[in-house]
Amino acid sequence: MIECEGLVKIYKTDDLEVVALQGLNLSVQDGELMAIIGNSGSGKSTLLNILGGLDRPSAGSVKVGPWDLLQVTDDQLVKYKRDTVGFIWQNNARNLLPYLSALENVEMPMMLSGKVDRPYAKQLLDWVGLKERMHNKLHQLSGGEQQRVAIAISLSNRPQMLLADEPTGSVDSRTSDLIMDIFRRLNRELGLTIVIVTHDLSLAGKVDRVVAIRDGLTSTEFLRRNPNLDDESAFGAGGLQEVHEAYAVVDRAGRLQVPKEYLSALGISNKASMEFDGERIIITKPKPLEGEQA
Ligand SMILES: Nc1ncnc2c1ncn2[C@@H]1O[C@H](COP(=O)(O)OP(=O)(O)OP(=O)(O)O)[C@@H](O)[C@H]1O
Ligand SMILES: [Mg+2]
């Protein structure tokens, strides 16, 4: 469904350039439910905005289904956003219109695309557990309820892919579980491809695959140890370490990113020695050259 290769995004502001993504690789299968984690400023929202067609990549390749997001025209991009993607923003105020009811909020994007399907809008609100509150204005709903309205809105165009940026960022853990359950049902029952950006590791423990971004590059991939354990019991408070196996990501050119902590622990700055003993690759600090200070 998603194929990014060497994806680069550079933001230019006045005379400053920020390289937010510096050659990122990522593949996501059709029907996958996965999470992206990473520190603040690592490029998560940048990636999601590009995948959602809200922002343009600077270089590299990024394909979603039949769409080449580097090549598309502005008109095609509008169609792509309307037909293919559902988006839940990091700040849900961007999704919602406070002076309208929950139902009107879900119908708004349908109105913009020319066809309001009220029964479907109601069904979506029922789906996210807001059947009883659909005629309430947004400001009469709690933060967690508003976030669920945002999920219903993101589905109003029947997208193939859902992109959620910190969907549980400002709700308590019970609501966060509820939201996660909604995602899992959408994934299973509608076959929706879902990419969730989060810094919540317990949430990341509830999906099959987690990709960590570090400095604008995918660095580590966490895969579920036992993918067959798919029932509720497998989704305890376990979190990332307990549930998943971690792998360093190796790109096509054979590059892999070594965590900064490892390098600084060994005092490796810009050069390392690498040895292959037939089974393992061993990275060490280079020995000082003859006559050089250690
Ligand atoms: N519109 C912009 N103009 C200039 N720089 C930007 C812009 N948007 C993001 N950046 C920069 O790009 C980098 C990546 O930002 P991004 O928003 O993708 O991070 P993030 O991983 O989503 O962080 P957070 O977890 O805090 O949401 C940061 O250094 C940020 O300052
Ligand atoms: Mg962000």
As a whole-number percent, the residues of the chain with pLDDT over 90 amount to 58
Per-residue model confidence (pLDDT) at position 101: 96
Q: What is the pLDDT of residues 7-39, one digit of tens each?
A: 999 999 888 999 999 999 999 999 999 999 998
Which of 22, 24, 46 best tests ligand 1's pocket when mutated (most atoms within 8 Å of CB)? Answer: 46
The count of other CB atoms within 10 Å of the CB of residue 78 is 12
Name all domains of the chain by residue range, CATH numbers in brackets: 2-84+159-257 (3.40.50.300), 260-294 (no CATH)
CA dihedral for 142, 39, 42, 211, sign (positive or negative): negative
SS3 278: coil
4 or 261: which carries more pLDDT confidence? 4
Provide the 8-state DSSP code for 172. -
Q: What is the pLDDT of residues 190-199, one digit of tens each?
A: 899 999 999 8
- Ligand 1 neighbours by CB, cut-off 6 Å: 11, 13, 18, 20, 38, 40-46, 90
Per-residue model confidence (pLDDT) at position 124: 94
Which of 21, 26, 45 best tests ligand 1's pocket when mutated (most atoms within 8 Å of CB)? Answer: 45
**Prediction pTM value:** 0.87
Confidence of residue 280 (pLDDT cuts 50, 70, 90): very high
Q: How far is the C-alpha of 192 from the C-alpha of 183, rounded, in Å?
A: 9
CA dihedral for 139, 145, 149, 151, sign (positive or negative): positive
173 or 25: which carries more pLDDT confidence? 25
